[in-house]
Amino acid sequence: MQNPHPTSRRARRAGPLKGRATIPGDKSISQRAIILGGLAEGETRISGLLESGDVQSTAGAVRALGASVTREGPGAWRVAGAPWMSPHQPLDFGNSGTGSRLVMGAVAGQGISATFIGDASLISRPMARVLDPLKAFGATYEGQGPKALMPVTVHGAKGTKAADVVVTTASAQVKSALLLAALGAEGVSHIRQATLTRDHSEKMLAGFGAKISVTPEGSGQVIAIEGPVKLKACAVEVPRDPSSAAFPLVAALIVPGSEIELPNIMLNPRRTGLIETLLEMGARIEIVNRRVTGGEEIGDLVVRHSQLRGIEVPASRAPSMIDEYPILSVAAAFATGTTALRGLEELRVKESDRLEAVARGLKLNGVPHTIESDDLLVQGMGQDGVPGGGMVPTHMDHRIAMSFLTMGMASQLPVTVDDVTMIATSFPEYEGLMRDLGAVLE
Ligand code: S3P
């Protein structure tokens, strides 16, 4: 019989997961490589690029701004930078918060104007968090309402002066937008951030020849960046995405008898909060062959089925695992005891309100939990105790879809998610890869 809902998917228990899986390139680094390549003089060659919906949206926008972005083979892309010009049409970023927010910063820095649009998820996400700080570099904008929802038009200013900006949101996107804006301002700008977030922009800007230095300050850092600068093209080798690896990783931990290998995963310390947390929960994750490639630490993960136990996950760890809370909540459901996930306010402004979406998914599958302010407490039901049987609304959120499919791989009854199309925004290979490991998705 044909599936009456072709975009829904049901995951059910099957045998152990076994084998070696090739995770695609990191989304954050892929996005930045296209944007910086588009701004730079010369030809940027990228290998291992993530070829997902979000990255395609950014590539389309960077083309519309004047650069040439071409695919030369699987994961092999060439970006020929050019002076950016105000595009005639709105830039459509689809589902991509990162692409749109970083390009807003770059548009401000280039002193041009552009209109930004996106899908139903993206147009409900706040852009004021990026646009208000960009005023320090002379940018103005028009958006919808106090949160500056899309459609948003950004007007960069020419000949702006360097600025000192304090980033109050624990967001790498906001920091990165400011750094890209500072590229066009005259003098040394200082971007201060009280919380350390992923540092791919700082590292890659240095690789593209920006004059940038980072100094620790309290629990955060201050970045000094000098403008105006013309970036120089360089080669970018994209490491594999730890946020995508998280899904097969947790699946192997909760499906009895599993043992899988995930080679060449990026282990940048600002991205490894999930692994750290799972190890504290008793996960059998071995990291072998640690090395540095293209400026990033990488390693091979060997993951075995494990009996997990509930722990306290401090709010201070949130930036290093911000995209991993949905899948961590699933791991917590299969643990013994309660797992307390603290300080999740940023989850409310992701592709969906992830705190609500996770709570709903847990409820629909019989997992007791409570939300206390911005904390989520998941009452673990043990490795065989998660009832499942729910139909989970994913709210156009790829990570909600993959998280609850993972739950269904080990719960008593199958778990259905209403829509898997959004998975292609970050991990188009997900279903095939999971089936190759032995998962049943129907
Ligand atoms: C990203 C930063 C994070 C993360 C997003 C990617 C980036 O967002 O959730 O998926 O590439 O800079 P915030 O910086 O808003 O927390």
Q: What is the pLDDT of residue 1?
A: 44
Distance 171 CA to ligand 1 centre (A): 6
Q: What is 9-25+239-441's CATH number, 1.20.1250.20, 3.90.550.10, 3.65.10.10, 3.30.70.1520?
A: 3.65.10.10
Q: How confident is the model at residue 295 (pLDDT cuts 50, 70, 90)?
A: confident
Q: What is the pLDDT of residue 55?
A: 98
Decide if 323 is catalytic.
Answer: yes
Quickly list DSSP for 265-281.
EE--GGG-HHHHHHHHT
Secondary structure element (H or E) that encloses residue 178, with its range: helix 172-182
- The correct answer on CATH 3.65.10.10 for the domain covering 27-237 is yes
Measured over all CA atoms, what is the biggest interatomic distance in the chain, rounded to whole angstroms? 66
Question: Do the domains at 9-25+239-441 and 27-237 have one common CATH topology?
Answer: yes
How remote is the C-alpha of 145 from its chain's centroid? 26
pLDDT tops 90 at residue 327: yes
- Ligand 1: residue whose CA is nearest its atom 11: 28
pLDDT digits (tens, 9 = 90+) for 65-118: 999 999 999 999 999 999 999 999 999 999 999 999 999 999 999 999 999 999
pLDDT digits (tens, 9 = 90+) for 239-265: 999 999 999 999 999 999 999 999 999
- Residue 219 exposed, middle or buried by CB count within 10 Å (0-12, 13-18, 19+): exposed
pLDDT digits (tens, 9 = 90+) for 8-45: 999 999 999 999 999 999 999 999 999 999 999 999 99
Q: Are 258 and 305 in contact (CB under 8 A)?
A: yes
Residue 362 tokens read as 């847990």
Pocket test for ligand 1, best of 198, 202, 349, 402 (most atoms within 8 A of CB): 198
Pocket test for ligand 1, best of 26, 131, 171, 204 (most atoms within 8 A of CB): 171
Characterize the bridge pairing of strands 296-304 and 259-266: antiparallel
Domain boundaries, the chain: 9-25+239-441, 27-237
H runs (alpha helix) in 218-324 = 242-254, 273-280
Q: What is the pLDDT of residue 3?
A: 54
pLDDT tops 50 at residue 2: no
The amino acid at residue 379 is Q
